[in-house]
Structure formats: structure tokens, C-alpha cells
Amino acid sequence: MKLMALQLLLWHIALWMVPEAAPLSPASSLPQSFLLKCLEQVRKIQADGAELQERLCATHKLCHPQELVLLGHSLGLPQASLSSCSSQALQLTGCLNQLHGGLVLYQGLLQALAGISPELAPALDILQLDVTDLATNIWLQMEDLRMAPASLPTQGTVPTFTSAFQRRAGGVLVVSQLQSFLELAYRVLRYLAEP
């Protein structure tokens, strides 16, 4: 129990110390209504992800993503970056592109988890829909501000899960990575929403 609490504490400390969490410079020209809607959507996705994590833990006893890190490396699970959101000279276009691209990446990873188990399918579907909705809202805002790239980003290569265990363990890892990404995204959006 103490080891688990220590691991959780170290994980949270690492999350707050990552370079992407550095303060941003004021540079937002985004509508307040858009930012507030995105903040609300991020919190909903985080709640959906937490529910899926709890169900994976309760149903399949896969409760600790840190125990599955080696499997994650062997599966080749990619991670999204928000490096354009962290510099002192915030690159708003680059930051929005990375937010959108990260969400597209997680859409693909969540789709790869299809068939995880009948009990978890509804929670996974809700999570996928919410991630898609947020990605769409960001893309539409980028188009409105004429910041969108000429073409939509692709999902890239997603892992192939060869067993039910890999799919379930991959689910734990993907949701954990998504939660970390969303926490950073939330902090960026919250900062941009400040007057």
C-alpha cells in the first residue's frame, strides 16, 4: 500500500514538473466562449477516462499503469506533445495544432481498443465521442481564425493488439497517457482563458 501511494505521488510530481507545464506568455486571441467550452469538454473527457480506468481495474484487475510500462514500450504506444504550448513566446497556431493533433492521435488509439470487452465498450464509445467532439471544436476554431493547416492531420500508426490482455493493458496505458495529455491541455486552456 505504501509503495502504491509513493508511486502515485511520484507520478503526480513528474506530471507537474514536465517541461510542457512551464508557464505561458500572454498571447491569446481566442474567443473566451471557445476556451470555456474546451475547458468544460476536457473535464468531461477526464471524467470519462477516470470511469474507464476504474472499470478496467474492477473488471480486469489492471489498476496500475506504471506496472504496464514495459508492455507499452513493446506495443509502441505513441505519445502526444504540447511543446509549442510551453515556451515563453507562446506559438498559438503551433499550440492549437498540437492540441488537435494529440486528440487525433488519441482518437486512433481509442479506436484500436475496440473489442476490449463487452462490459467496457459503452464507456470506451463515450470517451471516443467526447475526444472527437473536442478535436472537432478545436479544428473549427482554427479554421475560423484561419490558423488551420491545409489538410487534417492523420492518426498515424496505431498499435495492433494481438491478445485480449494486450488490448486491456493497452487500454490502461492509453487512458493514462490521455489523462496526462488532458491535464496539460487543461492548464494551457485555463491560462489562455485568463483575462
24 falls within a domain? no
11 falls within a domain? no
C-alpha cell at 92: 498559438
| Residues whose CB falls within 8 Å of the CB of residue 185, separated by 6 or more in sequence, listed in order | 42, 82, 99, 102
99 falls within a domain? yes
160 falls within a domain? yes
State pLDDT tens for residues 89-111: 678 899 999 999 999 999 999 99
Residue bearing the bigger pLDDT, 195 or 96: 96
DSSP for 38-106?
HHHHHHHHHHHHHHHHHHHHHHH----GGGGHHHHHHHT------GGGTSSS--HHHHHHHHHHHHHHH
Name the amino acid, one letter, at 100.
H
21 falls within a domain? no
Q: Which structural domain range is residue 117 located in? A: 31-193
**Number of independent structural domains in the chain:** 1
**For 148-170, b where at least 16 C-beta lie within 10 A, e where not — what string?**
beeeebebeebbebeeeebbbbb
Residue bearing the bigger pLDDT, 87 or 39: 39
At residue 86's C-alpha, the angle toward residues 28 and 141, to 5°, is: 40
Q: What is the mean pLDDT of the chain?
A: 82
12 falls within a domain? no
For residue 4, pLDDT over 80 is answered with no
User: What pTM was estimated for this model as a whole?
Assistant: 0.81
